[in-house]
Amino acid sequence: MAAAAAGATPATARKTLFTTTATLLSSSLTRSSRGRRSISCSAASAASSPRLAPQPPDLVRWVQREGGFVHPALRVTDHPEHGLGVSAAAADGDISPGDVLITLPGRIPLRLRRPTGAADDVLVQLAQQVPEELWAMKLGLRLLQERAKPDSFWWPYIANLPETFTVPIFFPGDDIKNLQYAPLLHQVNKRCRFLLEFEKEVQQKLDSVPLKDHPFYGQDVNSSSLGWAMSAASSRAFRLHGEIPMLLPLIDMCNHSFNPNARIVQEGSVNSSDMSVKAKSIISLLMKIANKSVCLSYVTLNCYVQVVAEMKIEQNAAITLNYGCHPNDFFLLDYGFVITPNPYDQVELSYDGALLDAASMAAGVSSPNFSAPAKWQQDILSQLNLHGEGAILKVSLGGPEIVDGRLLAALRVLLSPDPEAVHKHDLKTLMPLDAQAPLGPTVEASALRTVLALCAIALQHFHTKIMDDEAILKGEPPLTTELAVQFRLQKKFLIVDVMQNISRRIKMLSPQKSTA
């Protein structure tokens, strides 16, 4: 455990780090008697969510001391609803809309930097081996470098970071299985495999590096510490100035809300001392956009980053930002929490002709031809990017659309016997669920019944029923089990909601069919 913040300097033996999907792991950092922190890992319960140092430095005072501003009413506290984060103090009155809550000068954000020596060159070489979609690992390497550095400028920030993260890569094996959702399981296994392979690459690289050029100051780095660093970056990084991910001390302790009471304001410019340029944006670009490439880039940040109140903030209220309108897959994989309910949650499906044929037949649709569409239908599917080379076959149920527009358009087209009627419509008019039966009530009813059958098939992929999940949650299970069960339960609720919505629409079509 870290003792640096408390002033103690016990000598600590280095522990071998390891990552396994069957054990919940956490990383910790301690000072040796020479003032060096060693990166180590221990099994721990995430329920307690301790910070890296038992008695971390006061983060608010550090930000103020380094030229930042913190509103006098703000405190870092455990909020009863949001947990540890930034809240308005009870005794300081309400905060008015437009009030500046936090200001960070350009030297405080932690980000990738241009190499300044041989150790930085090695770090950059390691970062270049990381796939772009795992950009958080690139930033995580920089975080690990500062965590291992004696007397790091960012130690007051790093000491306040969680010792453990409740992201699925650290779930016990049984709780990974408890997710019961193939798309997320694929991502979890992919990240675990990456960490195990990257550990070998890192160790191979560092074995040939002299101590004076070691980016982690001679400390052992393996899959567990790499997983901690990647999780810290993915759950806390902001994208400012478009694409540059960085860690913003104190600001990253503001919790999430789809209806936030604060927003991010950027003042100044990149690579310039001109402070007159002001760019404002509500942070829905917090963290990474899934599967989007992010270049390894460096910046000189000559600007201020502020958090500004969007509305009146009452006493004891948590300060919240919008992390983005994402499904629970994103929030659990990168942040370690599940939003209940989440209006942006989705269930991912694969567009597959055989599956759609089976769903249509189960729905009572006669002679579906999803597996063998006519040439004119194939052409439209290609326009929807659901057919041909490079097709994107991932479609979804839920979220604001209720039914993925590409999926619904495909169903309407493939269930229509009349190419002329289809070609009268622009594809965009065939995609919205709210469109008034664009190809007629008979085609519409068949398409919606097929969606109902797809929902039923999706529900069958879960091994437990809703009542089973609710019973588990009532039993106060361990946190990782609770998160896994909450995640799958919300997916089931989403599917049921979609089925109810579609059923209502089918009933509304009945009078139209009888008069058609």
Is 145 found in the same domain as 72?
yes
Tell me how far apart the alpha carbons of residues 8 and 379 are, in angstroms, rounded to a whole number. 71
Residue 244 lies in a domain: yes
Tokens of 2: 């870290």
123 shares its domain with 250: yes
pLDDT tens per residue across span 395-434: 999 999 999 999 999 999 999 999 999 999 999 999 999 9
Alpha helix locations (H) across 208-316? 223-236
pLDDT of 271 > 80? The answer is no
pLDDT average, residue stretch 106-112? 91
Mean pLDDT over 260-281 rounds to 53
The Cα–Cα gap between 102 and 440 comes to: 56
CB 199 within 8 A of CB 123: no
What's the total number of domains in the chain? 2
252 and 367 assigned to the same domain: no
Same domain, 242 and 360: no
pLDDT digits (tens, 9 = 90+) for 468-501: 999 999 999 999 999 999 999 999 999 999 999 9
pTM: 0.83
Given a cut of 50, is residue 278 above it in pLDDT?
A: no
Does residue 408 share a domain with residue 318? no
Task: Give the model's pLDDT for residue 147.
Answer: 96
| 88 domain-assigned | yes
Mean pLDDT for 122-129 is 95
The answer to whether residues 355 and 472 belong to one domain is: yes
Q: Looking at the structure, do residues 235 and 106 belong to the same domain, yes or no?
A: yes
Separation CA 24–CA 45 (nearest Å): 7
* 246 DSSP β-pair partners: 238
Instruction: Give backbone dihedrals phi and psi of 450, rounded to 5 degrees, phi first.
Output: -65, -40
Give residue 80's pLDDT.
75
Cβ burial 9-19 (10 Å sphere, 16+ → b, else e) = eeebeeeebeb
Strands 278-280, 394-398: pairing kind: unpaired
**Residue whose tokens read 């590409």:** 406
91: confidence class by pLDDT, cuts 50, 70, 90: low
47 band by pLDDT with thresholds 50, 70 and 90 = very low
What secondary structure, in 3-state letters, does 396-417 show?
EEECCCEECHHHHHHHHHHCCC
Please name which of 165, 171, 158 lies closest in space to residue 334, comparing C-alpha atoms. Answer: 165
Domain with 488, as residue range(s), is 347-509
Is 217 part of a structural domain of the chain? yes
Which of 2-16, 344-358, 450-464, 478-492 has the lowest average pLDDT?
A: 2-16
DSSP-derived secondary structure for 439-498:
T-HHHHHHHHHHHHHHHHHHHHTSSS-HHHHHHHHHT---HHHHHHHHHHHHHHHHHHHH
Q: Report yes or no on 440 lying in a domain.
A: yes
